[in-house]
Amino acid sequence: MTATNRDTDLGATLPATTPAGVEAIRDAIRTRHRFLLTSHARPDGDSIGSQLAMAFALDALGKEVRIVNADPAPEHYQDFPGMHRIEVAPRVERPDVDAVIVMECSDLSRTAVAGLEGEFLINIDHHAGNHMYGSVNWHDESAAACGEMVFGLIQALGVELTEQIATHIYLAILTDTGSFHHSHITPRTFEICRQCVEAGVNPAVMARRVFDSNSFGKLKLIGALLDDMELADQGRLAVLRMDEQMLEATGSTHNDTEGLINLPLTAREIQAVVFFKITDTGDVRVSMRSKYDVDVRRVASEYGGGGHKNAAGFTVPGPLAAVRGQVVDRLVRAIAEGLESRP
């Protein structure tokens, strides 16, 4: 990789967008030695990328690092560097660390890992509505991915951007921007990606690994989902539904549903998508995506969930029939409001 002075690099080319907060986190890390990293349940590319980038950076500083998540990472991330380091557990008995770094979680309960309460918590997140539950908190809604914040922190810690770290930062940004589709993408996003590529990341290979790694089961699931898709609001809203039988019939798994919600958005008319996933416990996990100013986070927050303007979710008790109608009506309203403010 090319050695550049990253401290001056970003400062020289960009406005001072790194918000106050990173220094407090940097100092909290410098003065501690043993860390446990965690992120949200059903981790995505941003949570995995942020955690592993952070883990490699902490290694470089000679720290002890443990990573614990409630759920395994999606299959197609398994051969990314350091994946074997992630422990999957619903609780940590006695953490015995100096700090727990929680990334991508607006609340500690989002980790679904028990036993972390009462630890020294370092909260790093970019979701709107973070509850500032940490002993130190760094919340930056303007970041396109938590991985952007981790990049800033790694820089502040003076750690070199190795190819391994860059791979995970790029993974975080590539996935959390929906492959550079969502809002919140800034010159800083591309500056960070530029530095990742300079450090050895190959964007074409990354895109293939992340987006072209489907199983045949997933391909069949795509067919079944789209076949079952319903349209509302004169074709502006797509409604997807998935249950255990559909997974069985197509030979796919829950993990295979990742990213499929974006498919209907490729139709020009569609402004928002809602995906109802009926879980084996009978709960309904609701995922939503939207274009431009259609704000699905506001809808999610009304149901106790969260996320971002263009990507949000929540979970409610079933049956689906009890919630479907009101969620669809609420989204139709969100679309009308979003279209009103469109230039």
> Could you list the residues that contact ligand AMP (CB under 6 A)?
40, 106, 127, 287, 305-308, 311-315
Q: Minimal distance in Å, beta carbon 173 to ligand AMP?
A: 14
**Rounded to whole angstroms, what are the CA distances from 245 to 225, 251, 308?**
12, 10, 30
**Which residues would be at the binding site for Mn ion (CB under 5 A)?**
46, 146, 176
> What are 39's two structure tokens?
């992120």
Q: Minimal distance in Å, beta carbon 251 to Mn ion?
A: 30
Give whichever of 40 and 139 is closer to ligand AMP, judged by the CB atom. 40
What is the spatial distance between Cα 56 and Cα 38, in angstroms, rounded to a whole number? 14
Taken as a whole, the chain contains a residue count of 343
Phi, psi of 162, rounded to the nearest 5 degrees: -80, 170
Give whichever of 19 and 318 is closer to Mn ion, judged by the CB atom. 19
Contacted by 43, from ligand AMP, Mn ion, none: CB < 5 to 8 Å by type: none
Q: Which one, of 270, 243, 261, lies nearest residue 313 by Cα?
A: 261
Q: Which residues of 8-34 are buried (b: 16+ CB within 10 A; e: fewer)?
A: ebbeeeeeeebeebbeebbebbeebee
For the chain, strand residue ranges (E) read 34-38, 64-69, 86-88, 99-103, 121-125, 136-139, 230-232, 237-242, 272-278, 283-290, 306-308, 311-317
Q: Minimal distance in Å, beta carbon 50 to ligand AMP?
A: 12
Give whichever of 68 and 201 is closer to ligand AMP, judged by the CB atom. 68
**Residue 316 β-bridge partners:** 284
Q: Minimal distance in Å, beta carbon 106 to Mn ion?
A: 11
Give whichever of 107 and 198 is closer to ligand AMP, judged by the CB atom. 107
Q: Minimal distance in Å, beta carbon 116 to Mn ion?
A: 19
Q: Minimal distance in Å, beta carbon 301 to ligand AMP?
A: 8
Q: What angle do CA 307, 309, 315 make, to 5 degrees?
A: 35
Phi, psi of 174, rounded to the nearest 5 degrees: -55, -45
Contacted by 314, from Mn ion, ligand AMP, none: CB < 5 to 8 Å by type: ligand AMP
Give whichever of 126 and 285 is closer to Mn ion, judged by the CB atom. 126
Give whichever of 264 and 307 is closer to ligand AMP, judged by the CB atom. 307
Contacted by 189, from Mn ion, ligand AMP, none: CB < 5 to 8 Å by type: none
Give whichever of 146 and 247 is closer to Mn ion, judged by the CB atom. 146
Contacted by 312, from Mn ion, ligand AMP, none: CB < 5 to 8 Å by type: ligand AMP
Q: Minimal distance in Å, beta carbon 307 to ligand AMP?
A: 3
Contacted by 311, from ligand AMP, Mn ion, none: CB < 5 to 8 Å by type: ligand AMP
